[in-house]
Amino acid sequence: MMTETSRKRKRVVILGATGSIGESALKVARDIPDRMEIVGLAANRNAEKLAAAANETRAQSVCLVDETKIDILTSELEYKPRIFAGEEGLREVACLTGAEMVLVAIVGTGGLRPALAAIEAGKDLAVASKEILVMAGEIVMREARDSNVHVLPVDSEHNAIFQCLEGKHSLDVRRIILTASGGPFRETPRKNFDAITPGQALKHPTWNMGPKITIDSATLFNKGLEMIEAHWLFGVEMKRVEVVIHPQSIVHSMVEFADGSALAQLSYSNMCFPIQYAVTWPDRVPNSLPPLDFSKLSRLEFFTPRYDDFPALDLARRAGEIGGTLPAVMNAANEVAVAGFLGRQVSFQDIWQIVEEVMNRHTSVAHPDLDAILEADQWARKEAQGRVTSINP
Ligand code: NDP
> Residue 286, preceding bond cis, omega within 30 degrees?
no
CB neighbours of residue 240 within 10 Å: 15
pLDDT tens digits for 147-169? 999 999 999 999 999 999 999 98
Q: What amino acid is encoded at 195 in this protein?
A: A
Q: Do domains 4-154 and 323-393 have the same CATH topology?
A: no
Domain chopping of the chain, boundaries: 4-154, 156-269+292-308, 323-393
What's the mean pLDDT in 366-388? 98
What is the number of the ligand 1 atom nearest to the C-alpha of 129?
32
pTM of the model as a whole: 0.96
Q: What would you report as the CA-atom Rg of the chain, rounded to the nearest whole angstrom?
A: 20
User: For atom 48 of ligand 1, which residue has the closest CA?
Assistant: 44
Ligand 1 center–CA 144 separation, angstroms: 22
Sort residue 16 into left (φ over 0), alpha (ψ -120 to 50) or beta: left
Q: Output the average pLDDT for the chain.
A: 96
pLDDT in the model for residue 205? 84
**Please, what CATH class does the domain formed by 4-154 belong to?**
alpha beta
Residues contacting ligand 1 via CB (< 6 Å): 16-22, 42-46, 65, 90, 105-108, 110, 128-131, 155, 207, 209-210, 212-213, 271
Ligand 1 center–CA 257 separation, angstroms: 34
Lowest mean pLDDT among 6-15, 168-177, 223-232: 6-15
CA atoms within 13 A of residue 211's CA, in its CB half-sphere: 10
pLDDT tens digits for 276-310? 999 999 999 999 999 999 999 989 999 999 999 99
- Please name the helix (run of DSSP H) or strand (run of DSSP E) that holds residue 266, with its range, or none: strand 262-266
CB 81 within 8 A of CB 60: yes
pLDDT tens digits for 74-124? 999 999 999 999 999 999 999 999 999 999 999 999 999 999 999 999 999
| Domain 323-393 is found in CATH 1.10.1740.10 | yes
Q: What amino acid is encoded at 362 in this protein?
A: H
